[in-house]
A and B are shown apart, each in its own frame.
Chain A
Amino acid sequence: MASTTQHALLSPAELAYLHASLSLTPPIRPDGRSATQFRPLAAETGILPGTNGSARICFADGTEAIVGVKAEVERTRRGDGGREDDGGELGGGGGGGGGLGSRLEGDFVEGLEGDFVEGLEGTVFLGAMLAEALLASGEFAKKLWINRRFHWKLYLDILLISPPLSYPLPLLSLTTHLALLATRLPRLKSEGDEDPFFDDDWAAAPYLYTRTKDGKATSRPPVSLLVMAVGNNIIFDPSKEELAVADVALAVSVGEETTKTDEEVDESSSSLGRNLRLLSVRTIDPPSRLTPPGVPNATNSAYGAAATTQKQPEARAAESEAVEGVWKAPRGGAKALVMAALVQKSLVRGGVADEVLDALDAVDLVA
């Protein structure tokens, strides 16, 4: 398995072709999408009756994720920051939240470590990315307080079925997003700092993310999108083939700015789009860097070049120069300009993130 996951099964020539077509203005994508278009997906929630919330998203190529959210009541440990047992990778949420929230946020989400069924080394990293996005704003952690002595601990169990090198972060993020939106926690009946005591009626359980009467969420968890750049083009939701030629790949986590007064802004926001805010950006080492380089005709002995072993050093040097139509793995980081454009494109009203969130809004939410 490991050997096949290392490379996309594309020849250098194919890679070069793909790279070239994606660098055009506008870019031409293999599946005919526009640069900002998402792959069509099917989503449903409430598929696991035993969980507090669940969701499933499938892509047409068979990539699929199922997320189940289980909540448990936990006693809040005082003063120790609550960091010992939850695995370090979930921490580091940064200074958000403030007060109690920041001290304990690591405690809230667990279970992202994943079972490495597919030998997917990236799962740890994926889990960290998801957690980071969730915890970045601090809003999420605040929702999990029951009182000053107890909090909810959420376990997110994720089943992911994806082909190698497809980099399923957006899929996971969207599914988690939906599952969290569909998550309900038992209604608290006790008051103040008493030991919590809950209503036994599941129908009375409120949503973790509160809703308006017509079932729209008033706030929502963040989403992480995968964005890549080829040349000066910015391409959203790359397929695995496209990733194989990315110059830069970024995971951008976007959250919705919570509006101060929900009722007031509710009407206007739907017309104006959302107040989005960037929560985190992570560069991802795209698989394109591992692809073997193409050989320019000039140095290809099959085309009459002198293929002497003594010339090897020169051959290497020649290789590093860009030759039109010959695949060369990208080197170096993202250009600042590209980065700026990339972020801007994600956040702009009516932009991709907005579009995605709109689409997710259409999913019927049932716990």
Chain B
Amino acid sequence: MASLKRSLQSDDPYAANIASKVYVRSTKSGKVQKIVREVYLRTDIPCSSKLCRQCLDAAPRDAAGRRVGFVLSERPAGTKVYPQGHYLVPDTNAFLSAMDLFEHGSAFYDVVVLQIVLEELRNRSLPLYNRLVALTKSDEKRFYVFFNEFRLETYITRDDGETVNDRNDRAVRKAAKWYGQHLAKTQPGQAPAVVMLSNDRDNLRKAKLDGIPACSLAEYVGQLKDGEALLDMIPESQDRDITREKKPGESLYPEYFSMSKTMTGVKNGLLHQGIFNVSPYNYLEGSIRVPAFPKALLILGRENINRAIDGDVVVVEVLPKDQWKVPSTQVIEEESITKDENPDAEEGDNIVSQQERKALQEEVRRTHSKSSESLAQPTARVVGVIKRNWRQYVGHIDQSSVSQTGQQGRKQDSVFVIPMDKKIPKIRLRTRQVAELLGKRILIGIDAWDRSSRHPTGHFIRSLGELETKAAETEALLLEYDVQYRPFPKTVLDCLPKEGHDWKVPASTDDPGWRDREDLRDLLICSIDPIGCQDIDDALHSRPLANGNIEVGVHIADVSHFVKPNNAMDAEASIRATSVYLVDKRIDMLPMLLGTDLCSLKPYVERYAFSVIWEMNADADIVNARFTKSVIKSREAFSYEQAQLRVDDASQQDELTKSIRTLLALSRKLKQKRLDAGALSLSSPEVKVQMESETSDPIDVKLKKLLDTMSLVEEFMLLANTSVAAKIYSAFPQTAILRRHAAPPKTNFDELANQLRVKKGLELNVESSRALADSLDACVEPSEPFFNTLIRIMATRCMMSAEYFCSGTQAYPEFRHYGLASEIYTHFTSPIRRYADLVAHRQLAAAIEYEAVDPSVRSRGRLEAVCKNINVRHRNAQLAGRASIAYYVGQALRGKATDEDGFVMKIFSNGFVVLVPRFGIEGLIRLRDLADPEPQAEYDAETNTLTTSGSREVKVELFQKVRVRVTDQKDETTGKRGVKMELL
């Protein structure tokens, strides 16, 4: 009987080229499969070294007969140990732990990225994988992906009992060895060395046994000329792996459950999975929202938080009921409590320091003294981390943690870094450059958080510059909010029209650009924007019709004409998702040429536009609406102020002004309709920083004035968005890109409603948005006009945030925009600065049959991914903008002391938060700031009153108007500047 088995015997000439891999795959749904893969091995995968003739001749060519260019330099840089030059072959751990090093500009050129390493990296960390892929694509770094798993000489099979990791390490060594031998043949005697980089001691040892040049990251960096600076970028924990044996049995934190145990628990509903959030006021209090409970679960104390960091996806276990607690009423700030810790100490004793314990003790006493069990919330503890969402953090070195010797020497020293984000715990960093880095904004990465270490350990990535310099602080903001601020790459710029700034609307209406475009050049169109606005998205017109109705048009920049789907520019824009406006800087979503010129609806020139044109009657009811691509010529670009002046000036009787007046009248009616339907007018403190024009140093802070013309533009934009939303939804019921604002859960308002009832005798009705709007209107205090705004600000914070979504993912009633009281809504009017609007443009164009539907705007999966990204980016952009204002407000106050009115927004048992409307800032006043020594205080949670006695006697109530002195202050210990408020 002839055997049916595939013969891999030697008589087959190709036997060597076929191998197979067998492994077990466990799928998410719980299936377990044996997988057999055949591997066809080749000998024509090039080494890609420009030194190698042999590979160049053998390398496969594409259909046109072209070869792919070789990557690795013929004259690679040398080091002290490898003066003849060298190529690097890092293993997976090297990339995992020190990607920052590889991205560094001063070293790490000519790197061979093995396929097996790339694959392993992708499985371990997708963000790092993407960064590595970006590196392999960059020309200057010369990273080459070598498909070692398909090259005959470098393929290895797994040995019996060998773990996958060991096998892969062996594959790396094998590939490094082959490279070495291969190159030695090309240039006997003077070929560059092929150096394997690893931080795995065992791997290094085996490599040395095998005669492969290999070093640890630290050894390698030490050989470089300016290695000192790079040494700090080698992660702490990895470093320790080599230099120090771990001492067992010194665990401060409880161990995490095994993966399978947590997964089983979550499936059975015994454990809960969610995203861990830290309270902004109390670093020892976290919360997690899980589907199983209506309210968030509290996580109190270091031990329960168990090394989770804000943003991590964790699994928690609910604690028994006798451990349930009331959310903290105390401010606990990490920097003040853990001020004097010594970063060098091997904190063996316990996790919870004395001070922390004291702070928590207060809590417990308070909870016990009040027998209000009903207020207690379920608490939980973290038992496992599903996914770390660690990113790079901006921070600065805690001055008090620097030892005296560290100030001078080049010895490696441990210091604490205080991240800018208060929710992130301080990070222990080992560095040799303490002296240089003090007082600088620095970027760091977290490497690990061992059970035996109270704080996470991290490594230094780079310095952004001196604290409080504009460049450093701006970059810090952008990094912290993950804003893409690098210049647009060439591939994106290549997508721009070739004519550049000379591009014009074609003169001939026979040009393909004019196809299906309406000629609206004779309409009296104008734009109204903030002063200095360059990216003009929208313009308006109105004119009376013969039948007595009015025609109103909103014209939006036709960005989709210039940004075609699926090119590099589209991809870049979809990643950036939005333009980011900082006080002194704008980070564009689209290249300048488009944003401020070709798309921008500048006055006096012809521009492509996408127009929404309504016929309305005098009561602002829509008679009909239509959408069309068009060509317009704006007559004037007004600022809000200019437009306001012009409208108010009765002597102006030209057509343009009259049409603005018509629009204004209509907009008032539209607004009234909206308010009648229950639209909320919400509030957030908005201020504007005035800059000195020359130096752009902030000199003053102004509250933004509200003008009628702003409301005019807003109303018509809302109307256009709503009309477009209805249109694209009817055309694409499953895939329309829409924006919704979910009704907030009633419990969100519990606290505020209760406070209002107790303090002011006012009722907050949250039954519907209409009821809420009415009761907010009723929240007035005749003597204090700002009180209403204050309540609105606080109510706004109880709301959900609006989000983009794809219509197929929600039921129609869920489409509702709560704040605008609109059944359906989208964003259409700002395609220059928001990607969502661009997608809506494409969908609308397809809906009016102007162009074919692009697959990208009708694939639900893709749209969902797009929505997810733009929601995050949108939020980050807002936060970055606010942070920027806050920073500049602080700078404007520098060196001045002003007395201002403020309002108490929140009361803790050891302090209270004051909002100063004049500057739009909030500040915390602690008891110990009131007087020295710290006064005694009685906190009444029922009435939200804090009564102090002893060294200073004051009574502070919620909503109370107080007079505060606002100064800026630099905390000497932490080196952080902040606004300080004093109660007068």
- The reply on B4 being an interface residue by CB < 8 A is yes
- The reply on B931 being an interface residue by CB < 8 A is no
Does A73 lie within 8 Å of B32, measured CB to CB? yes
- Contacting A at CB under 8 A, from B1-32, are 1, 3-6, 20, 22-26, 30-32
Give the CA-CA distance A75 to B267 in the complex, in Å.
13
8 Å CB contact of B5 from A47, A72, A189, A190: A47
Residue interface mask A49-73, B partner, CB < 8 A = 1: 1111000101000000010000111
Give the CA-CA distance A51 to B4 in the complex, in Å.
15
- The reply on A336 being an interface residue by CB < 8 A is no
8 Å CB contact of B264 from A47, A195, A205: A195
Please give, as numbers and ranges, the residues of chain B lying within 8 Å of A46 by CB-CB distance: 5
- State the Cβ distance, B518 to closest chain A Cβ, in Å: 62
8 Å CB contact of B23 from A50, A196, A202: A202
Residue interface mask B812-844, A partner, CB < 8 A = 1: 000000000000000000000000000000000
Please give, as numbers and ranges, the residues of chain B lying within 8 Å of A358 by CB-CB distance: none
Given contacts A203-B158, A205-B24, contact A189 B4 (CB under 8 A): no
Please give, as numbers and ranges, the residues of chain A lying within 8 Å of B375 by CB-CB distance: none
- The reply on B259 being an interface residue by CB < 8 A is yes
Minimal Cβ-Cβ distance residue in B for A45:
B5
- The reply on B34 being an interface residue by CB < 8 A is yes
Does A201 lie within 8 Å of B24, measured CB to CB? yes
- State the Cβ distance, A341 to closest chain B Cβ, in Å: 34
Please give, as numbers and ranges, the residues of chain A lying within 8 Å of B161 by CB-CB distance: 203-204
- Contacting A at CB under 8 A, from B236-273, are 258-261, 263-264, 267
Please give, as numbers and ranges, the residues of chain B lying within 8 Å of A75 by CB-CB distance: 30
Given contacts A200-B23, A200-B25, A200-B26, contact A50 B36 (CB under 8 A): yes
Give the CA-CA distance A189 to B26 in the complex, in Å.
12
- The reply on A266 being an interface residue by CB < 8 A is no
Residue interface mask A179-205, B partner, CB < 8 A = 1: 000000010011101111111111111
Does B267 lie within 8 Å of A186, measured CB to CB? no
Given contacts A44-B3, A203-B158, contact A51 B34 (CB under 8 A): yes
Does B34 lie within 8 Å of A201, measured CB to CB? no
Minimal Cβ-Cβ distance residue in A for B268:
A195
Does A201 lie within 8 Å of B23, measured CB to CB? yes
Given contacts A50-B36, A201-B163, contact A73 B30 (CB under 8 A): yes
Does A47 lie within 8 Å of B3, measured CB to CB? yes
Give the CA-CA distance A194 to B20 in the complex, in Å.
32
8 Å CB contact of B164 from A50, A186, A201, A205: A201
Does B158 lie within 8 Å of A201, measured CB to CB? yes
- State the Cβ distance, A155 to closest chain B Cβ, in Å: 12
Please give, as numbers and ranges, the residues of chain B lying within 8 Å of A42 by CB-CB distance: 1
Does B164 lie within 8 Å of A190, measured CB to CB? no
- The reply on B436 being an interface residue by CB < 8 A is no
Does B5 lie within 8 Å of A199, measured CB to CB? no
Give the CA-CA distance A323 to B263 in the complex, in Å.
77
Please give, as numbers and ranges, the residues of chain A lying within 8 Å of B510 by CB-CB distance: none
Does B260 lie within 8 Å of A194, measured CB to CB? yes
8 Å CB contact of B31 from A52, A72, A193, A197: A72
- State the Cβ distance, A50 to closest chain B Cβ, in Å: 5
Does A197 lie within 8 Å of B34, measured CB to CB? no
Minimal Cβ-Cβ distance residue in B for A73:
B32
Please give, as numbers and ranges, the residues of chain B lying within 8 Å of A52 by CB-CB distance: 34
Give the CA-CA distance A83 to B537 in the complex, in Å.
67
8 Å CB contact of B24 from A51, A58, A186, A194: A186
Give the CA-CA distance A196 to B259 in the complex, in Å.
11
- The reply on B160 being an interface residue by CB < 8 A is yes
Minimal Cβ-Cβ distance residue in A for B36:
A49
- State the Cβ distance, B78 to closest chain A Cβ, in Å: 41
Give the CA-CA distance A71 to B32 in the complex, in Å.
8
Does B22 lie within 8 Å of A202, measured CB to CB? yes
Does A199 lie within 8 Å of B24, measured CB to CB? yes
Please give, as numbers and ranges, the residues of chain B lying within 8 Å of A193 by CB-CB distance: 264
Minimal Cβ-Cβ distance residue in B for A195:
B264
Please give, as numbers and ranges, the residues of chain B lying within 8 Å of A189 by CB-CB distance: 260
- State the Cβ distance, B261 to closest chain A Cβ, in Å: 5
- State the Cβ distance, A140 to closest chain B Cβ, in Å: 20
Does B267 lie within 8 Å of A195, measured CB to CB? yes
Does A195 lie within 8 Å of B260, measured CB to CB? yes
Give the CA-CA distance A51 to B24 in the complex, in Å.
11
Does B4 lie within 8 Å of A44, measured CB to CB? yes
Interface centre among B24, B31, B158 (most CB of A within 10 A): B24
Please give, as numbers and ranges, the residues of chain A lying within 8 Å of B267 by CB-CB distance: 195
Does B36 lie within 8 Å of A58, measured CB to CB? no
Please give, as numbers and ranges, the residues of chain A lying within 8 Å of B263 by CB-CB distance: 194-195
Given contacts A46-B5, A47-B4, A201-B163, contact A186 B264 (CB under 8 A): no
Please give, as numbers and ranges, the residues of chain A lying within 8 Å of B162 by CB-CB distance: 201, 203
Given contacts A44-B3, A49-B22, A201-B158, contact A194 B34 (CB under 8 A): no
Minimal Cβ-Cβ distance residue in B for A49:
B36
8 Å CB contact of A44 from B5, B25, B261: B5
8 Å CB contact of B1 from A58, A72, A73: A58
Minimal Cβ-Cβ distance residue in B for A42:
B1
Give the CA-CA distance A205 to B34 in the complex, in Å.
10
Minimal Cβ-Cβ distance residue in A for B160:
A203
Give the CA-CA distance A71 to B33 in the complex, in Å.
8
Please give, as numbers and ranges, the residues of chain B lying within 8 Å of A47 by CB-CB distance: 3-5
Does B32 lie within 8 Å of A198, measured CB to CB? yes
Interface centre among B1, B3, B23, B261 (most CB of A within 10 A): B1
6 inter-chain pairs at a CB distance below 8 angstroms, sorted by A residue, are A44-B4, A71-B32, A190-B260, A196-B260, A198-B32, A200-B23
Binding site for B on A (CB under 8 A): 42, 44, 46-47, 49-52, 56, 58, 66, 71-73, 75, 186, 189-191, 193-205
Closest 6 CB pairs of A and B: A42-B1, A190-B260, A197-B260, A202-B22, A186-B24, A195-B264
Additional A-B contact list (4), CB under 8 Å, known A75-B30, A201-B162: A73-B31, A190-B258, A194-B263, A204-B161
